[in-house]
């Protein structure tokens, strides 16, 4: 399992390639990338992501370990940024590998569902008219029920 | 113990962390102590359903014991991903 929490950008192509190259005997690699959405209308000046150093790494390791236990995976990669980001910047990525694609797809979805509401990150959106913390959605919590 | 605040909880209380001397046995008791301090705490802790808590970096609930706890953190529901 590779877990990285960082402020600097990551190279999606190089990370995906590196992850895929490191796999042996795996028939599938699935990746998901989260991108900062612009706000319709007023436009997003920037997004600030705060996190809880120490707990963040532990929470991500726990989520990745749960995925490794539950599905037949070769490996899991999670990269998540914090700090100041702009619209269209990449916030985070996950990659999973498995012998058959179903495991890699399902595990990637599981990782994303848990990352949303169990990893200690908080997003604040800054616009011309001020700043607002992004509120968690009930749907994010409900998404955990299917696992 | 160290008490940490994140996101709007940090903004409302005005500091990211502080040392707290407390004999509280549970998180709920600690919250009651903090609420009694000053209005900014009262405001931050007015609706516990809007808050989450971690003890020693593990997500838990307000009934959790503080026995042996070194670090308690309060924050809104997380918005990762």
B29 falls within a domain: yes
Q: Taking Cα atoms as reference points, which of A5, A1, A2 lies closest to residue A92?
A: A5
Q: Which two tokens stand for residue A126?
A: 């800054």
B47 falls within a domain: yes
Question: Number of structural domains, chain B?
Answer: 1
Contact state of B54 with A124 under an 8 Å Cβ cutoff: no
pLDDT digits 0-9 by tens, B23-66: 999 999 999 999 999 999 999 999 999 999 999 999 999 999 99
pLDDT at residue number A42: 83
Interface contact B4, partner A, CB < 8 A: yes
B80 falls within a domain: no
CATH number at residue B71: 3.10.20.30
pLDDT at residue number A138: 86
B32: part of which helix (H) or strand (E)? helix B27-35
pLDDT at residue number B73: 98
B36 falls within a domain: yes
Interface contact A116, partner B, CB < 8 A: yes
The boundaries of the domain holding residue B57 are 2-75
How does strand B2-5 pair with strand B71-75?
parallel
B44 falls within a domain: yes
Q: In chain B, what residues touch A50 (CB-CB under 8 Å)?
A: 6-7
CA distance B28 to chain A (A): 21
Each residue's pLDDT expressed in tens, for chain A with a length of 147 residues: 999 999 999 999 999 999 999 999 999 999 999 999 999 888 999 999 999 999 999 999 999 999 999 999 999 999 999 999 999 999 999 999 999 999 999 999 999 999 999 999 999 999 999 999 999 998 888 889 899
Nearest to B6 among A50, A135, A140 (CB): A50
B31 falls within a domain: yes
Vertex A95: Cα angle to A94 and A98 (nearest 5) = 145
Topology of the domain covering A2-129: Aldehyde Oxidoreductase; domain 3 (3.90.1170)
pLDDT at residue number B4: 98
Q: Are A130 and A68 in contact (CB under 8 A)?
A: no
Contact state of B81 with A136 under an 8 Å Cβ cutoff: no
B37 falls within a domain: yes
B81 falls within a domain: no
Q: Cα(A65)–Cα(A115) distance, rounded to whole angstroms?
A: 13
């Amino acid at each position: 399992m590779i877990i990285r929490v960082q402020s600097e950008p990551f190279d999606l192509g190089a990370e995906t390639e590196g992850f895929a190259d490191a796999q042996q005997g795996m028939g599938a690699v699935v990746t998901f990338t989260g991108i900062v959405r612009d706000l319709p209308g007023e436009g997003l000046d920037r997004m600030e992501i705060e996190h809880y150093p120490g707990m963040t790494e532990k929470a991500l390791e726990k989520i990745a370990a749960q995925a490794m236990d539950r599905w037949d995976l070769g490996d899991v990669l999670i990269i998540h940024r914090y700090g100041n980001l702009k619209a269209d910047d990449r916030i985070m990525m996950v990659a999973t590998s498995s012998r058959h694609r179903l495991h890699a797809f399902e595990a990637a979805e599981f990782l994303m569902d848990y990352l949303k509401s169990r990893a200690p990150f908080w997003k604040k959106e800054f616009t011309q008219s001020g700043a607002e913390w992004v509120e968690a959605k009930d749907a994010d919590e409900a998404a955990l029920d299917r696992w | 113990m160290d008490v940490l605040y994140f996101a709007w909880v940090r903004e409302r209380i005005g500091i990211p962390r502080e040392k707290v001397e407390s004999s509280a046995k549970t998180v709920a008791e600690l919250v009651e102590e903090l609420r009694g301090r000053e209005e900014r705490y009262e405001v931050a802790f007015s609706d516990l359903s809007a808050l989450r808590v971690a003890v020693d970096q593990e997500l838990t609930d307000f009934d959790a014991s503080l026995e042996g706890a070194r670090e308690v953190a309060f924050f809104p529901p997380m918005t990762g991903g």
